[in-house]
């Protein structure tokens, strides 16, 4: 849990920090879609260089992105082994007894790993360089056209922002409960499978109780400040589009055009 950095804002004044949150959210969605285009090794290399440029412009230490990937290492390893052993496309490049590894399985495994790394890196950069309040404003502005069909854009944006805001809080609460349980003799690492399940249940129940209590406290605090969902609201902080946002938008559009063209020509 110490490795979970998703949802944690990293204060700073870098180029990425100053970009409009609407651009960052829309750019993230575009890049996440772009990751699944079959543009070959060269295409993924171009996307990777773009992500590295975003990381450098955010002045965020690379070890933070590496730390964000640690919780996903098991999934990455599982998917890699699963694909290598079960996919049988292309020609055989390795054979040991009944075990055969095909070239198509290797390339597909490479694509999966690269896609996961890029997705984790992009989402980490977004949450680390964008304040929760700015995320709420950006999401609400991007979903504004849905208001015409009665979609509660402000409420949905608020819920997403609150969820991101409370990820670090819930992780800290989990660690606190684990330490309290360990001081009472609960061992989360040793024992039989049944004992481990019982230990996890003893962790989950108080965590849920604490989460519901925090949710109720937050709801009471919002009501005491006269928060009314759907009511017209004025804002002290307004989003402003700058020339740097236009430059970043052009770069995202150029990258999208490049990757889509490469995937079509393959």
Q: What is the pLDDT of residues 60-93, one digit of tens each?
A: 888 888 887 877 788 888 888 887 777 777 777 7
Contact 221, 1 (CB under 8 A): no
pLDDT of residue 253: 94
pLDDT of residue 6: 59
Burial class, 137, CB count within 10 angstroms (exposed 0-12 / middle 13-18 / buried 19+): buried
Query: Which residues of the chain, if any, have pLDDT below 50?
Result: 1
Alpha carbon distance 50, 121 (integer Å): 11
Alpha carbon distance 130, 138 (integer Å): 10
Q: Looking at the chain, how many residues does it have?
A: 266
pLDDT of residue 4: 56
CA 26 to chain centre: 14
pLDDT of residue 146: 83
What is the token pair recorded at 168?
A: 């670090």
Strand partners, 99: 96
Backbone angles phi, psi at 157, to 5 degrees: -60, -40
pLDDT of residue 160: 79
Helices (H), the chain: 15-18, 21-35, 40-58, 62-69, 73-86, 103-129, 132-142, 153-183, 193-224, 243-265
| CB atoms inside a 10 Å sphere around CB 266 | 11
pLDDT of residue 237: 73
The 3-state secondary structure of 145-167 reads HHHHHCCCHHHHHHHHHHHHHHH
Alpha carbon distance 159, 229 (integer Å): 11
pLDDT of residue 162: 81
User: Following CA atoms 140, 228, 238, 160 in sequence, which dihedral angle do they give, to the nearest 10 degrees?
Assistant: -40
- 93 membership: H or E segment, kind and range: strand 92-96
Q: What is the pLDDT of residues 116-150, one digit of tens each?
A: 889 988 988 988 888 878 888 888 888 888 888 88
pLDDT of residue 112: 85
In a 3-state reduction of DSSP, which class is residue 96?
Answer: strand
Contact 20, 126 (CB under 8 A): no
């Amino acid at each position: 849990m110490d490795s979970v950095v998703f949802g944690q804002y990293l204060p700073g004044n870098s180029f990425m920090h100053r970009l409009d949150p609407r651009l960052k959210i829309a750019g993230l969605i575009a890049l996440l879609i772009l990751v699944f285009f079959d543009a070959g090794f060269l295409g993924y290399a171009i996307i990777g260089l773009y992500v590295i440029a975003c990381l450098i412009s955010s002045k965020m230490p690379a070890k933070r992105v590496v730390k964000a990937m640690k919780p996903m290492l098991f999934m990455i390893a599982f998917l890699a082994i699963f694909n290598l052993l079960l996919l049988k496309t292309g020609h055989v490049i390795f054979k040991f007894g009944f075990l055969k590894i095909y070239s198509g399985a290797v390339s597909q495994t490479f694509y999966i790993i690269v896609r996961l790394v890029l997705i984790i890196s992009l989402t980490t950069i977004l949450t680390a360089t964008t304040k929760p309040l700015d995320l709420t404003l950006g999401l609400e502005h991007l979903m504004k056209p849905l208001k015409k069909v009665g979609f509660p854009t402000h409420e949905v944006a608020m819920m997403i922002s609150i969820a991101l805001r409370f990820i670090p809080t819930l992780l800290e609460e989990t660690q606190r409960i684990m330490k309290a349980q360990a001081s009472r003799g609960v061992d989360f690492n040793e024992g039989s499978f049944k004992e481990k399940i019982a230990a996890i249940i003893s962790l989950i129940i108080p965590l849920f109780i604490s989460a519901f209590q925090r949710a109720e406290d937050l709801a009471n605090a919002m009501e005491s400040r006269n928060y009314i969902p759907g009511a017209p609201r004025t804002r002290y902080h307004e989003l402003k589009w700058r020339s740097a946002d236009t430059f970043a938008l052009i770069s995202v559009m150029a990258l999208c055009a490049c990757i889509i063209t490469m995937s079509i020509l393959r």
